Amino acid sequence: MTNSASPAANAAQIDYWNALAGQTWVAFHDQLDRQLEPLGLAAMDLLAPAPGERILDIGCGCGHTTVALAERLGPAGRATGVDISRPMLEVGRGRSAPQGLAAMAFREADAQQDDLGQGQWDGVFSRFGVMFFSDPVAAFANLRRSLRPGGRLAFVCWRPFAENDWMRVPMMAALPLLAPPVPADPTAPGPFAFADPERVMGILKDAGFAEMAITPFDTRIGGSGLDQTVALTLKVGPLGSALRESPDLAEPVAAAVRTALEPYETPEGVLMPAAVWLVSARAG
């Protein structure tokens, strides 16, 4: 095993994703996968997995992206999903590998420090699974070691909160009803930890990657009905965290959020702007 940090380095995130957060994602995984799918596919296209390759899916969650990778890799390929969340991995392990396509496996591991196999992988992919490391340089150095020389990295991460209306609009609608938020460290592990592109490039360079590139990508995400969208919004992201601290406010907050989301309702469901970075690099 190659340890880049102490065994307890990601203890807080491991606890978080194995408790209520992981259980919430399991409960809403179909809706969340539908919402995030176009963003993950954009990063997957950037990685360009080829038939016969071996690909790691970091922060694979409930396994939707691991299946999508397996579908691209053909019968000689292998897609392995890695996550710290046991409840989410159980969902992934319940999925069937696409018949006649790549082998598919799931592994409970901390990608920051656990041995993922030295030089064994052609590519590393992640859909919003790399912003939660306590030591991102150590984590990406570990991922680089897992890649063969010239192996590829591609992931998608959120741009700033202010640019993501799908989170910003409901949060701003709820804010007058909530206690004033405590200012957060923008670089702390969390969904927006990689919002600064210069920080992302610096992390990858310090971890030993080369040929780094980062580009913005904008689209609308969602696709669920208004009631489903409100229910999901009250459970995940910054607003979900705030309501876990003040559950008695759920009813008035839900009413305010519903009003704020109504203008985004379409025949295809509620669709809202999302803003991400598509990031790529190569192992030296």
Residue 257 or residue 242, greater confidence? 257
- For residues 204 and 140, the answer to whether their CB atoms sit within 8 Å is yes
Q: Which domain holds residue 16?
A: 11-160+189-220+274-283
Q: What is the bridge-based pairing of β-strands 147-158 and 269-283? A: antiparallel
- Look at residue 75 and tell me if it is in a domain: yes
Mean pLDDT across 126-139: 97
- Look at residue 242 and tell me if it is in a domain: no
Write down the pLDDT at residue 16.
Answer: 86
65-83 confidence digits (pLDDT tens) = 999 999 999 999 999 999 9
- Look at residue 140 and tell me if it is in a domain: yes
pLDDT at 208 over 50: yes
Number of Cβ atoms within 10 Å of the Cβ of 250: 14
- Look at residue 70 and tell me if it is in a domain: yes
Cα pseudo-dihedral 109, 112, 116, 121, rounded to 10:
130
Q: What is the C-alpha to C-alpha distance for residues 96 and 83, in angstroms, rounded to an integer? A: 18
Give the CA count within 13 Å in the CB-facing half-sphere of 261: 30
CATH of the domain at 59: 3.40.50.150
| Phi, psi for 82 (deg, rounded to 5) | -125, 130
CA 245 to chain centre: 23
pLDDT at 136 over 60: yes
Q: Closest Cα to residue 170, out of 248, 265, 234?
A: 234
- Mention every residue, 6+ apart, whose C-beta is less than 8 A from residue 45: none
Write down the pLDDT at residue 5.
Answer: 40
- Look at residue 267 and tell me if it is in a domain: no
Percent of the chain with pLDDT over 90: 83
30-41 confidence digits (pLDDT tens) = 999 999 999 999
The tally of domains found in the chain comes to 1
Q: What is the C-alpha to C-alpha distance for residues 154 and 70, in angstroms, rounded to an integer? A: 16
- Look at residue 203 and tell me if it is in a domain: yes
Q: What is the mean pLDDT of the chain?
A: 93
- Look at residue 26 and tell me if it is in a domain: yes
- Look at residue 3 and tell me if it is in a domain: no
Q: How confident is the model at residue 12 (pLDDT cuts 50, 70, 90)?
A: confident
Q: How confident is the model at residue 9 (pLDDT cuts 50, 70, 90)?
A: low
Mean pLDDT across 133-150: 97
178-203 confidence digits (pLDDT tens) = 988 788 899 999 999 999 999 999 99
pLDDT at 93 over 60: yes
Q: What is the C-alpha to C-alpha distance for residues 97 and 261, in angstroms, rounded to an integer? A: 37
Q: What is the C-alpha to C-alpha distance for residues 279 and 214, in angstroms, rounded to an integer? A: 4
* Predicted structure pTM score: 0.93
